Amino acid sequence: QDIFTNRRDYVGGPVRFPDAMIFLNTHTSAMERHPAIIEAAKLCIPTVAIVDSNCDPSYISYPIPGNDDSISSIEFYMKMFSEAIKIGRKIKEETATTNVELLKENKLLKTSPQIILQQNRPKMFKPIFEQQNFRSNQITNKFKSKRETGTGANMIPIGEKRGGK
């Protein structure tokens, strides 16, 4: 317990914190919250975890609802995590090589950091943003349809008054 906070006792020197931690089960054998999750939350290390119906996702940064008991689901999640890590490493290498090329051409020093971040933004996040926009449009359309039919009469958008005045 407290491997990161007491790293001098365990390792004997400074240790680089992980970029993220992945948990397939959030409980110990005694059905208590895993101490590594608590420690990661203390140190603000992002955590990704499979969260079953018997888990509390309050300490998890990115909870993934799913079955953490069956072997087939664990194999599926492990495959997805390994593919995501491979894609992330590939994109990191590609952006590093483009930055080196820009440095050789002296273009990197002339451009602002915001432009560099926008140009090298990972393309894998595009589907996520499209999905979020789709979801927000679905919610907006659902709200409008409820207002038109009168089922959501108690829901008033911010800035409007009752009676439409």
Q: What is the mean pLDDT of residues 121-150?
A: 54
What secondary structure does DSSP assign to 73-110, as a single string? HHHHHHHHHHHHHHHHHHHHHHHHHHHHHHHHTT-TTT
Asked whether the predicted pLDDT for residue 118 surpasses 80, the reply is no
What is the mean pLDDT of the segment spanning 90-100? 79
**pLDDT(122) > 70:** no
- CATH class of the 1-69 domain in this structure: alpha beta
What residues does each domain of the chain span? Answer: 1-69
Query: Per 3-state DSSP, what percentage of the chain is helix, strand, and coil (rounded to 5)?
Result: 50, 10, 40
Q: What is the pTM of this model?
A: 0.51
Asked if pLDDT for residue 125 goes beyond 80, the answer is: no
pLDDT tens string 24-82:
888 777 777 888 888 888 888 899 999 888 888 888 899 988 888 888 988 999 998 89
**pLDDT higher than threshold 60 for residue 153:** no
Percent of all residues in the chain with a pLDDT value above 70, rounded to a whole number: 51
- Residue carrying the six token digits 């491979």: 86
Which pLDDT value is given to residue 156? 53
